Chains A and B, each alone.
Chain A
Amino acid sequence: MDLPTSDIHKQAVESFDTSSLLTNAARQRDARNYAAFPIVDVDCHHYENESISEIVKYIDDPVLKQMGMLYTSGGTGGQTPFNPGLVGYQDIAGRVTRYPLRKTETTPADDKHRDVHLSLRWMDAMGVDYVCLFPTPMLSLGLHPQAEVEAGLAKAYNRWLLENITAKEDRIKTMLYVPFSDPEAAYETVQEFGDHPDVIGFMIVSVRYHAVHSNPYMKTYALMEEIGKPLGFHSNYNWNDRLVGNSNRFLVTHALGFTVYNAVHICNWVVNGLPERFPKLKTVWIESGLAWIPWVMQRLDNDYKMRWSEAPSLKGLPSDYMREMYYTSQPMEMPDRKEILQMTFDMIKADTQLLWASDYPHWDMDVPSVIYDLPFLDENEKRRILGGNAIELFDLDVSSRFPNYKAA
């Protein structure tokens, strides 16, 4: 196919293959001997919209299911009943070529789903042993005006994913999509799937306008705590947001959006004393990078000391609670002055709390060398951040790849 570029230079592409695109990642893998230790990617994606015709068959509600079947069999025009319709172009108008070319990639017609084949290709190239797989367009579903659509689609997606993807590949796990717009459905989802062995945690998409400290959610958090699996908040952008979308460049709505939603949720989580109410429920803040954490820590600590009466459940500084939380690394900011990053690592206790994530195949993905090549980490710290911390947090069984694995 021809990729349109600036008008005089088109680029013809004969074929596209993930393994070829990631040849240099495979070279990094071999040069750094990643085979010597487990690498766990806590945040990667597939495009569940490409399988939506399979997913809608799992919807319970007959009316919603009929609507879904109609939409996936050809649609009725430009509209969709599922996606709240985010404007954006993460691919930088085709410059990140895996977006426009992904549909041309071929996969074997066997009993493994295409998404399993594609995932294993990039995992093997990067040297990744296990992943936590998340959807892509559904990361915006928290904005859907119909809570019942998020609930219905989430349940269908969770069933479909566990039956067709994770069940077919031991190296792929997931944190369960929790339909947070409907507190009862959220509770039922955790109840129904929480014990599933391929569910390593629970995931709330952060881009939404629901307060995490609202009473209707307390029984769900209590259930998650009882099950003993972590709760992740996965961020996203939202160009329709009146504040963080108030820019004419995607760069801004992305740079701010991916941090601000998680910043709001973490502030509410901490000042309402939820870490005291659910002391065994571990939280993971996903895909906001790292630079926002020192900012929020300092702002909260400063205000807390003046306004203690508004956060009376806390038994320490907000930053003390934040230091006990977990953070995924991607998209990791790479300041020229490495001491800035080193200070951030110190502030979040990166050696135990930081979890490497690729976010592959999305445009701002990170390869493992972003951690492995940091000059201020020793080998043990690198291995912990690239896999060891996640193995402990999720109690991940890595015996299929590392039968003799022992925590460092």
Chain B
Amino acid sequence: MAREILVGKASDFKEGDKKIVPHGKNSEIGVYLVHGNWYAYANLCPHQGGPACEGLLMAKVEEVIAEDKTYQGMRFNHDEMHIVCPWHGWEFDIADGQAVADRKWSLRKFDVELRGEDVYVLA
């Protein structure tokens, strides 16, 4: 049976917030509220073990290519937010935890449950 970790009150989070909670003695879980959805991932990058959840939350970068195939610049796409590991910059899609550069790598994902005002991670 999954262990329940009380994260805190849902009202303490605003859009884009995260909280990192202990998960046993030697690990943590990052809990995020993004686009109104709750996400939880292990604070452990599959690359070299960096604390991925301690990094920035950044919007996906996209190239703007015109109809004639010419490059017009770059833009942020806030529909897809990325967790960025602060050690080396590996980026992970907040929606599923997959590394956007190579989707066979991913952060370990945990379920989040809301019980009234309380936010729990099932670890």
Contact = CB atoms under 8 A, between A and B. Distances in A.
Contacts of A369: 48-49
Give the interface size class of chain B: 20 to 34
B16 A95 contact: no
Nearest to A27: B26
A32 to B, nearest CB: 11
B89 A28 contact: no
A97 interface: yes
Given A6-B76, A96-B86, A367 B48 contact: yes
A367 B44 CA distance: 14
A3 B84 CA distance: 13
Contacts, number: 65
Interface stretch (A7-15, A200-208, A271-279, A288-296): A7-15
A123 to B, nearest CB: 16
A14 to B, nearest CB: 12
Contacts of B89: 92, 95-96, 363
A11 B16 CA distance: 9
A105 to B, nearest CB: 14
A5 B86 contact: no
Interface stretch (A18-26, A209-217, A378-386, A390-398): A18-26
Interface in A350-397: 363-367, 369-370
Given A96-B86, A363-B89, A364-B88, A5 B56 contact: yes
Give the interface size class of chain A: 20 to 34
Interface of A: 3, 5-9, 11, 21, 23-25, 27-28, 92, 94-98, 363-367, 369-370
B13 interface: no
Contact of B55 (A28, A95, A365, A370): A95
Contact of A94 (B51, B56, B76, B78): B56
25 contacts: A5-B58, A5-B59, A6-B78, A7-B59, A8-B16, A8-B59, A9-B16, A9-B59, A9-B81, A21-B54, A21-B87, A23-B51, A24-B43, A24-B49, A95-B55, A95-B56, A95-B86, A96-B86, A96-B89, A97-B55, A97-B56, A365-B88, A366-B48, A369-B48, A369-B49
